[in-house]
């Protein structure tokens, strides 16, 4: 279904599905993805839960924000949908960028459990090689020889979504982690390069009620590559 949601005076057309009855369960996909990535979770749990699966603004069939939203804007957006659909104290299942939203939502509003896989939210420390690349780029830019730099996600994004990505990446949620007391399951791919395993280990130590499960030989999309195993893990946790 499509519905209009108003945030900060902006009316956006949002594409989502809401199926089943019972405890609300909200699925939040990662950057550059859409609700199809989590459809197998929705199909499985809608027998016993009320499952909201959506294209976040700027992804899939949902409209882009009119300006570059912050994480707080995305959290407010999820809250507005929860109010509209009367989804109280939801369980949040989130991947990567979606996990940033889930963590901040749990800090600001009422949520039950969190299931986070390949969760983003911790800033990577800046290494010597990082600074070397930055200064080299600035020098080449002055000489008008600079290459087109940036991640593939950044290159593929519109101007508005580039702004969203920059704000998201620069936001370090580490200080919030000790304050998020929700029972939390962290599912990580052992060989995740986008959000390395040390991030999951850091979250487990920082969050009061977090448990980390590692899927061996898997990458950033471990949950999607092993759907049956992921569903079994969720079933046990929930």
- In the chain the first and final C-alpha atoms are separated, in Å, by 27
Residue 145 located in a structural domain: no
Asked if pLDDT for residue 134 goes beyond 70, the answer is: no
At 234 the pLDDT is 96
User: In residues, how long is the chain?
Assistant: 238
Residue 56 located in a structural domain: yes
**pLDDT tens track for 4-57:** 777 778 788 999 999 999 999 999 999 999 999 999 999 999 999 999 999 999
| Inter-residue long-range contacts of 200-205, CB under 8 Å, 24+ positions, other chains counted | 200/119, 202/122, 202/174, 203/116, 203/119, 203/121, 203/122, 203/177
At 158 the pLDDT is 85
At 17 the pLDDT is 95
CATH of the domain at 204: 3.40.50.1820
pTM of the model as a whole: 0.87
Asked if pLDDT for residue 215 goes beyond 70, the answer is: yes
What whole-number distance in Å separates Cα of residue 72 and Cα of residue 115? 20
**pLDDT tens track for 144-201:** 544 444 567 667 778 999 999 999 999 999 999 999 999 999 999 999 999 999 999 9
Residue 76 located in a structural domain: yes
- Provide the pLDDT confidence category of residue 75 given band limits of 50, 70 and 90: very high
Structural domain total, the chain: 1
Residue 176 located in a structural domain: yes
Residue 25 located in a structural domain: yes
Residue 114 located in a structural domain: yes
Range of the domain at 58: 2-125+163-237
Residue 99 located in a structural domain: yes
Nearest to 220 by CA among 97, 96, 35, 47: 96
**pLDDT tens track for 107-128:** 999 999 999 999 999 987 754 4
Query: In the chain, how long is the greatest CA-to-CA distance?
Result: 62
Asked if pLDDT for residue 140 goes beyond 80, the answer is: no
Residue 8 located in a structural domain: yes
What whole-number distance in Å separates Cα of residue 40 and Cα of residue 45? 9
């Amino acid at each position: 279904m499509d519905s209009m949601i108003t945030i900060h005076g902006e009316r956006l057309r949002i594409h989502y599905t809401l199926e089943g009855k019972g405890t609300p369960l909200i699925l939040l996909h990662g950057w550059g993805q859409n609700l199809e990535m989590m459809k197998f979770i929705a199909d499985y749990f809608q027998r016993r839960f009320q499952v909201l699966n959506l294209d976040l603004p700027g992804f899939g069939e949902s409209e882009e924000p009119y300006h570059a939203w912050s994480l707080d804007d995305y959290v407010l957006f999820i809250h507005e949908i929860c109010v509209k659909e009367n989804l109280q104290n939801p369980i949040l299942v989130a991947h990567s960028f979606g996990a940033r939203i889930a963590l901040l939502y749990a800090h600001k509003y009422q949520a039950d459990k969190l299931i986070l896989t390949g969760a983003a939210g911790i800033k990577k420390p800046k290494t010597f090689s990082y600074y070397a690349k930055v200064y080299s780029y600035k020098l080449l830019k002055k000489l008008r020889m600079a290459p087109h730099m940036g991640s593939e996600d950044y290159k593929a994004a519109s101007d508005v979504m580039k702004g969203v990505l920059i704000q998201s990446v620069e936001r370090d949620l580490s200080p919030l982690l000790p304050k998020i007391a929700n029972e939390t399951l962290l599912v990580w791919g052992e060989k995740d390069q986008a959000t390395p395993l040390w991030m999951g280990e850091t979250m487990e130590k920082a969050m009061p009620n977090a448990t980390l499960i590692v899927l061996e030989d898997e990458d950033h999309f471990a949950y999607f590559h092993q759907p049956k195993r992921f569903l079994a893990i969720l079933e046990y946790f929930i």
